Amino acid sequence: MANIALSEAEKTFILHGVEEDFRCDGRSRRDYRPMELETDVVSNASGSARLRLANTDILVGVKTEIDVPSFRTPDKGKIEFFVDCSANATPEFEGRGGEDLALELAYTLANAYESSLAFDLKALCILRGQQCWKLYVDILILECGGNLFDAVSLAAKAALNNTKIPRVTAALMDAGQADLIISDDPYDCTRIDIDCVPILVTVCKIGDSCIVDPSAEEEECSSASVVVGVSRRDGKSYMSNIHTIGNGSLHKDTMFDCIELGLSAAESLNDKLMKALKLEEERCGSGRKEAVGFLK
């Protein structure tokens, strides 16, 4: 995350605002900033999305490839995450400055998707032990304005929803090898079920209070944050993983409060994202060009 130079007076002002539940931009501790979402923005990808959260700008492209299942999971497909921090996003990303953050983001996403409650890799299997789909989720951070984990996870979920996987007909040959016929009809495809796909919620501790969707300035005032991976299944929220950020420590009661706030925020955020994706599909179908905003 980008380092913002703040004076002690500015930090005190932010701290007092959080304590009074009235942050610098007028939000409460549980509020997100407005977002804008576009899908199908990369022509040579199987699915794509661009999400803007205030000054944070994320572009995600998904590509599909036929691969061989792992011998440990012969009935499952594969998914990999790659994150690239553009040097234009913030001065700290120039040279190799964003590599550690990119790896941390990719690692946290991969952990969130590992749970069987979060993402059904079996749906990507073509022939058990022989062929499967592999998804490459490429994430580009165009601008950094705080709360990257949440923005990246939302953009990735939107891109997966937009992903179209060609329909495959498989037949076994005499030698036991598979003969795959991939449909070249762009409309003859399958879609990924994203109902249980997790999102990440960053809960940032400032003073004695916890907030969601921290700005870059608020992140600078916090010594410790918790990133909670949340998946929805059968109308209930499940924690798929948890990741801590910063050098500070958290009391166990504070950790429980962070998890509770993360689960609550994720439920509301996911509902609004799904509504926005539905509107976005209607926009693409009607040919309109404007982005869909939500959480306004």
Instruction: Give all domains of the chain, ordered by start, each with its CATH number.
Output: 8-291 (3.30.230.70)
Model confidence pLDDT, tens digit, residues 176-230: 666 788 877 777 889 999 999 999 999 999 999 999 999 999 999 998 999 999 9
Res. 101: pLDDT tops 80: yes
Other CB atoms within 10 A of residue 240 CB: 23
118 token code pair: 């979060």
* 8-state DSSP, 205: E
pLDDT confidence bin for 294, thresholds 50/70/90: low
58 token code pair: 């994320």
Longest Cα pair distance anywhere in the chain, in angstroms?
Answer: 76
pLDDT confidence bin for 295, thresholds 50/70/90: low
Residue 93 Cα to chain centre, angstroms: 20
pLDDT confidence bin for 23, thresholds 50/70/90: very high
* Percent of the chain predicted with pLDDT > 70: 91
User: d(Cα 64, Cα 6) in Å, to the nearest integer?
Assistant: 44
Which stretches of the chain are DSSP H helices? 8-19, 99-114, 148-162, 216-220, 252-286
Placement of tokens 């504070």 in the chain? 254
Model confidence pLDDT, tens digit, residues 73-100: 999 999 999 999 988 877 777 767 688 8
User: d(Cα 84, Cα 142) in Å, to the nearest integer?
Assistant: 9
Residue type, position 135, single letter:
L
pLDDT confidence bin for 236, thresholds 50/70/90: confident
Return the bridge partners of 156, or none: none
101 token code pair: 């953050």
Residue 260 Cα to chain centre, angstroms: 19
DSSP codes of every residue in 104-150: HHHHHHHHHHHSTTT--GGGGEEETTTEEEEEEEEEEEEE--S-HHH
Residue 75 Cα to chain centre, angstroms: 25
Average pLDDT of span 21-44: 93
Residues 53 and 151 sit within 8 Å (Cβ to Cβ): yes
Residues 224 and 245 sit within 8 Å (Cβ to Cβ): yes
Res. 68: pLDDT tops 90: yes
